[in-house]
Amino acid sequence: MDQIITCINCPVGCRMSVSLSDNGEFLSVTGNTCPRGAVYARQECTLPKRTITAVIPVEGCRMPLSVKTSAPIPKELIRDVMYVLGSLHIHTPVQAGQIIIPHVLETDADIVATRNLP
Amino acid sequence: MTDRNIDILVIGAGPAGLAAAIAAREAGIQSLLVVDREKEPGGILRQCIHNGFGLHRFKEELTGPEYAQRDIDRAAELGIQIECSTMVLSVSPERCVTCVSPVNGFQRIQAKAVILAMGCRERPRGALCTPGTRCAGIYSAGTAQRFVNLEGVMPGKKVVILGSGDIGLIMARRMTLQGAEVLACVEIMPYSSGLNRNIVQCLQDYNIPLLLSHTVTDIQGLHRLEGVTVSEVDQNRKPVAGTEKHFGCDTLLLSCGLIPENELSLGAGVILSAATSGAVVDETFETNIPGIFACGNVLHVHDLVDHVSAESYKAGISAASFVRNRHDDLSYFAVADGTGVRGTVPQKIHRNVDCPVNLMFRPTGVYRNCSAVVECGNTEVCRKKSVIYTPGEMALITLKPEDLRNLTGSTLTVRIERN
């Protein structure tokens, strides 16, 4: 099984062809022009991850709170994380760096505030 | 009305203004004031809640507010005075600045040096000449970003984005994650000027189509936007009849380029460059008006805030040394754009410069495996190879002081040469 992806490491944007076994294991990559491309291709085709940032409403405050995941989370969990964030009830004050949800959806990432809301 | 006398006034408390102020204070300037029209310092970074800032400068990925906070904290540590909600009305060539604020009213501030760090603004609908009705629901991408990320309101539910610059791509993802449906991102050019990373992570991740060589050719809606017509364009960017597609939507976001915000600069008599729409400066970031410096996006539009900070820090040091002992050396090299190069900054360099100078420019097209070459007449001064030069990424070549010794010519030309 082959998958075509674009490398995101630099502006060259190599088109890479990744071979995967029938059960989704990484076999090989062609089309990359540097080692960073190979590392990205393996990660992206086996367990793609993203850092998610979002804004969430804060009770009694007009300004929303900006948050992020403290580490990249599996891409397939993005929607679920957004649902979790949408059901939160947060109160001021919040400090930048404060953990809002530890280990969100049992991942190794926390939801962390990225700004102060006094 | 108050009258104040200070050493350095910085206009704008975004990443450029903060870096310049920090540099000036670290260089020993005590009498220093930063003014900003917003309620809080941080500039546009406050609304850029996505991550990816600071990789060069801090070797880690920060969100915009986190990046800004580091400079705000450093400024506080140094006791730098920042006055917010303060709108500058004018800057005179003699560096007399007038401004208003709710707290201080009308003020006249006489500064020994002024640093212009006002940033840039987005190209509006009027500048795009898009036909159609003038209904509600059409915003620049940055305005929508401010609504969502700072004001906590969504501008609409069904969205089309015109232009595939990074802000448009970032907003495609933000609108999707916050619950809207993004129907398409429409780009008139055959390529996107956005980063590959953003095309993959903001569009492909959410199955948002990127329509290259397409543009919006009609806007419908009486009061609120009801839909847009999108057509394919030929190689001359003219719409092709018969290719029209209709998208029902309530929101159109425009991400069609940034323009340095230079009204104050013009009032002060600062000469602007046609290529950058920012001031013409020398390697110390001083404009043609002695003691007025410019840095950050008001000077030329950057892709990375890390570069804004580095450039502005140098401008702050220059302003500090101007205040202490102004240099009267007026012997310059002119810097000119050659083949494949546009908007080189700085536009002039002192002949006896004693520290390295970064020449920053935009390639005019995509050049693979090419070199950027700096020449003085027929003498090659400096050369830098790159796997790729693209218009979407500012290129940089560093001149060492010794490169510039013993040159007889008066113009340094930057060009791109195929290997």
Give residue-wise pLDDT tens across range A8-50.
887 778 889 999 998 888 999 999 989 999 999 999 999 999 9
Q: Are A23 and A2 in contact (CB under 8 A)?
A: no
A8 touches chain B (CB under 8 A): yes
**Domain extent listing, chain B:** 1-121+258-328, 124-256, 330-419
Whether A57 and A41 map to the same domain: the answer is: no
A71 touches chain B (CB under 8 A): no
Phi, psi for residue A71 in degrees, rounded to 5: -150, 160
A-chain CB neighbours of B149 within 8 Å are: 55, 64, 66
The rounded mean pLDDT for chain B is 95
Q: Residues for chain A: how many in total?
A: 118
Report if residue A24 sits inside a domain: yes
Report if residue A37 sits inside a domain: yes
B177: confidence class by pLDDT, cuts 50, 70, 90: very high
A75 touches chain B (CB under 8 A): yes
Picking from A54, A78, A114, the nearest residue to B66 by CB comes out as A114
pLDDT of res. B328: 67
- CATH 3.60.150.10 for domain B124-256, yes or no, is no
A27 touches chain B (CB under 8 A): no
Whether A13 and A30 map to the same domain: the answer is: yes
Tell if the CB–CB gap between A11 and B390 is shorter than 8 Å.
yes
Tell me which H or E stretch contains A92: none
Q: What is the mean pLDDT of residues B321-341?
A: 88
CB contact set of B320 (below 8 Å; sequence gap of 6+): B8, B23, B24, B27, B28, B29, B113
Q: How many other C-beta atoms lie within 10 A of the C-beta of residue A88?
A: 15
> Residue for token digits 């957004």?
A82
- Pick the range with the lowest mean pLDDT from A9-13, B91-95, B364-368: A9-13
DSSP state of B299: T
ipTM of the complex: 0.91
Whether A14 and A34 map to the same domain: the answer is: yes
Amino acid letter, B354:
D
Picking from A13, A64, A96, the nearest residue to B69 by CB comes out as A96
- Residue range B1-121+258-328 forms a domain whose CATH class is alpha beta
Whether A63 and A108 map to the same domain: the answer is: yes
> Residue for token digits 């195929």?
B418
Beta strands in B261-410 (DSSP E): 292-294, 332-337, 341-345, 348-350, 357-363, 367-376, 379-389, 395-399
pLDDT in tens, B234-284: 999 999 999 999 999 999 999 999 999 999 999 999 999 999 999 999 999
Domain of A93, CATH number, reads: 3.10.530.10
Whether A57 and A12 map to the same domain: the answer is: no
Q: What is the mean pLDDT of residues B275-298?
A: 97
Tell if the CB–CB gap between A64 and B150 is shorter than 8 Å.
yes
Whether A42 and A82 map to the same domain: the answer is: no
Please determine, for residue B310, whether its predicted confidence score (pLDDT) is greater than 60: yes
Q: What is the mean pLDDT of residues B303-332?
A: 90
Tell me which chain B residue has its CA closest to the CA of residue A115.
B65
Domain region containing A92: 53-113
Whether B1-121+258-328 and B330-419 share one fold: the answer is no
Whether A70 and A28 map to the same domain: the answer is: no
Whether A58 and A107 map to the same domain: the answer is: yes
pLDDT of res. B12: 98
A-chain CB neighbours of B199 within 8 Å are: 6
What fold does the segment set B330-419 form as a domain? Immunoglobulin-like (2.60.40)
How many CA atoms are closer than 13 Å to the CA of B24, on its beta-carbon side?
A: 34
Q: Are B326 and B353 in contact (CB under 8 A)?
A: no
B327: confidence class by pLDDT, cuts 50, 70, 90: low
A6 touches chain B (CB under 8 A): yes
Whether A85 and A39 map to the same domain: the answer is: no
B13: confidence class by pLDDT, cuts 50, 70, 90: very high
Whether A57 and A103 map to the same domain: the answer is: yes
pLDDT of res. A109: 97
Whether A39 and A88 map to the same domain: the answer is: no
Q: Are B255 and B140 in contact (CB under 8 A)?
A: yes
Share of chain B above pLDDT 90, in %: 87
- Which pairs count as long-range contacts for B148-153, CB under 8 Å and 24+ apart, including other chains? B148/A55, B148/B174, B148/B175, B148/B178, B149/A55, B149/A64, B149/A66, B149/B47, B149/B48, B149/B49, B149/B174, B150/A63, B150/A64, B150/B46, B150/B47, B151/A62, B151/A63, B152/A55, B152/A57, B152/A62, B152/A63, B152/A64
Phi, psi for residue B16 in degrees, rounded to 5: -70, -50
Q: What is the mean pLDDT of residues B218-243?
A: 96
Tell me which chain A residue has its CA closest to the CA of residue B50.
A53
The rounded mean pLDDT for chain A is 92
Best B39, B63, B303, B390 member to test A by mutation, with max A CBs in 10 Å, is B63
Task: Give the ranges where B151-300 is alpha helix by DSSP (H).
Answer: 166-177, 196-198, 263-267
Tell if the CB–CB gap between B152 and A57 is shorter than 8 Å.
yes
B215: confidence class by pLDDT, cuts 50, 70, 90: very high
Beta strands in B117-239 (DSSP E): 120-122, 138-140, 158-162, 181-186, 210-211, 214-220, 227-232
Phi, psi for residue B158 in degrees, rounded to 5: -120, 120
Q: What is the mean pLDDT of residues B327-338?
A: 86
CA distance B1 to chain A (A): 33
Identify the three-state secondary structure at position A42: helix
Tell if the CB–CB gap between B66 and A52 is shorter than 8 Å.
no
Q: What is the mean pLDDT of residues B205-228?
A: 97
Q: Residues for chain B: how many in total?
A: 419
DSSP state of B404: G
What residues of chain B have any CB closer than 8 angstroms to a CB in chain A?
A: 46, 49-51, 61, 63, 65-66, 69, 148-152, 177-178, 195-197, 199-201, 205, 368, 387-388, 390, 392-393
Number of separate domains in chain A:
2
Tell if the CB–CB gap between A63 and B49 is shorter than 8 Å.
no
pLDDT of res. A62: 87
How many helices (H) does chain B have, and how many strands (E)? 8, 27
Rounded Cα distance between A15 and B18, Å, is 40
B127: confidence class by pLDDT, cuts 50, 70, 90: confident
